[in-house]
């Protein structure tokens, strides 16, 4: 994070456009467009500083200090634009819609979504191409992006598992059941059969997802438990043959260096009587009081969440049929509802990954609609053959 001094119009890197009326290093008068642009920069800097301060209220320790330091840096940028504008700063100008939206989220939620949006906002700073901004300000914005990326990464890591299950389950339900409904309808069966097929697809898919997630998490926990060292070395050490001490092999297999392993063996055998490196003395192998694999989650909670997420997606394509719609109209409404849901989930993925929400949203939409279109064509072909 940059820690340069406050704005100084006499500084060689900050002198460009420092005095009121100067719009370039050559000292050309500021135009009306310059004034308008600077006032917008000023409003956005104030809004961004407020966002970081609002986020800091919901944090503690190191994260809070980092966010407050970012707010302070935005304050230095604000001072730069105030210096350029002078008396022409006028009444406070509204921040951009993006900055206002960030502020709303920061005040009411303060979640990783705000940091992801802030990361994207910092990456799109216009200062690099604006001669009125100092080189130090350009560098600040570049460093701020990396700082916010680091803070957002912490939040992403905390919700990575549950977020993956939510997105995967919901999208699987949306696409698979829409494809099933489209295929059945294209084959020429009645709307009641399409509805029953959709309900059956919802239940079968949700149960399958839940069972699969239960088995997956249970198996992962069992695998991790199998790799956890036992306490047998404490009980067996006194009975081992000193001349053929296989306890050394245990510690070597756990990844210790030979020196550290031999030191630990001597401790376990009660043979340690030397002026050795104290760093080689490891903590006793006591049973751990907390579950080291808690990040994996429990099998039942994973199964329940997968069932619910899949069902929440799978119910969307059959809503028109549940409301009594039939025929092409029901299919069009179903496809539209699923399309909106895919755009939303894709946009959320884009936000959390710090990339373009629009790109991710339309990618999700294209994949889902493509699968449904293929199934619809196959249903037409099947209906033509059977008919």
- Residue 123's pLDDT is 74
Q: Two tokens at 166?
A: 């939510």
22 strand-pairing partners: 29
Q: Max CA-CA distance within the chain?
A: 91
Residue indicated by tokens 């719609």? 325
Whole-angstrom distance, CA of residue 111 vs CA of residue 155: 8
pLDDT at residue 195, as a whole number: 92
For residues 188 and 265, give the distance between their C-alpha atoms in angstroms, rounded to a whole number: 76
* The pLDDT value given to residue 254: 67
pLDDT of the chain, 387 residues: tens digit per residue: 434 444 343 343 343 344 444 444 445 677 888 888 888 888 888 888 888 888 888 778 888 888 889 888 888 998 998 888 888 877 777 777 777 777 776 666 656 667 777 777 777 788 888 888 888 888 888 888 888 887 877 666 665 555 666 777 888 899 999 999 999 988 888 889 999 999 999 999 889 888 887 887 777 777 766 555 555 544 554 544 444 456 677 677 767 778 787 777 777 666 655 555 544 544 444 444 444 444 445 777 777 888 888 999 999 999 999 998 988 999 999 999 999 999 988 887 776 666 677 888 899 899 999 999 999 999 888 876 665
How many CA atoms lie less than 13 Å away from 83 in the CB half-sphere?
A: 20
How far is it, in rounded angstroms, from Cα 202 to Cα 178? 10
Q: Which residue has the tokens 């006793």?
A: 284
Q: What is the pLDDT of residue 9?
A: 36
Distance, CA of 381 to CA of 386 (rounded, Å): 9
Name, in order, each residue with C-beta under 8 angstroms of 293's C-beta and a sequence gap of 6 or more: 221, 224, 225
- The CA distance from 73 to 49, in Å, is 8
Q: How many residues does the chain have?
A: 387
Q: What angle do CA 231, 236, 242 make, to 5 degrees?
A: 135
| First-to-last C-alpha distance (Å) of the chain | 70
pLDDT at residue 32, rounded to an integer: 85
Give the span between the Cα atoms of 50 and 75, in whole angstroms. Answer: 10
- CA distance linking residue 251 with residue 42, whole number of Å: 61
């Amino acid at each position: 994070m940059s820690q340069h001094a406050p704005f100084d119009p006499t500084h060689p890197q900050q002198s460009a456009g420092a005095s009121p009326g100067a719009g370039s290093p050559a000292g050309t008068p500021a135009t009306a467009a310059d004034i308008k642009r600077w006032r917008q920069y000023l409003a956005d800097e104030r809004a961004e500083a407020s966002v970081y301060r609002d986020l800091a209220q919901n944090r503690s320790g190191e994260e809070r200090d980092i966010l407050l330091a970012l707010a302070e840096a935005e304050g230095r940028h604000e001072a730069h634009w105030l210096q350029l504008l002078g008396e022409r700063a006028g009444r406070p100008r509204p921040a951009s819609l993006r900055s206002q939206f960030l502020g709303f989220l920061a005040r009411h939620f303060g979640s990783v979504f705000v940091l992801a949006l802030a990361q994207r906002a910092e990456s799109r700073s216009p200062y690099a191409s604006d001669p009125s901004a100092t080189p130090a300000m350009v560098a600040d914005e570049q460093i701020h992006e990396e700082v916010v990326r680091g803070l957002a990464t912490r939040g992403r890591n905390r919700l990575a598992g549950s977020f993956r299950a939510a997105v995967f389950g919901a999208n699987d339900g949306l696409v698979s059941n829409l494809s099933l409904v489209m295929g059945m309808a294209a084959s020429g069966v009645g709307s009641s059969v399409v509805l029953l097929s959709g309900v059956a697809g919802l239940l079968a898919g949700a149960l399958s997802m839940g069972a699969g997630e239960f088995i997956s998490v249970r198996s992962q926990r069992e695998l991790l438990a199998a790799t956890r060292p036992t306490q047998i070395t404490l009980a067996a050490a006194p009975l081992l043959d000193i001349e053929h001490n296989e306890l050394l092999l245990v510690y070597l297999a756990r990844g210790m260096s030979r020196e550290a392993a031999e030191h630990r063996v001597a401790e376990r055998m009660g043979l340690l009587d030397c002026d050795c490196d104290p760093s080689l003395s490891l903590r006793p192998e006591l049973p751990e009081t907390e579950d080291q694999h808690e990040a994996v989650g429990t099998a039942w909670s994973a199964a329940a969440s997968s069932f619910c997420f899949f069902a929440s997606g799978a119910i969307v394509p059959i809503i028109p049929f549940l409301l009594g719609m039939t025929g092409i109209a029901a299919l069009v409404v179903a496809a539209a509802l699923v399309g909106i849901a895919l755009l939303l989930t894709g946009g959320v993925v884009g936000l959390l990954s710090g990339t373009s929400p629009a790109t991710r949203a339309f990618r999700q939409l294209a994949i889902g609609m493509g699968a449904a279109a293929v199934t619809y064509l196959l249903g037409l072909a099947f209906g033509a053959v059977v008919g």
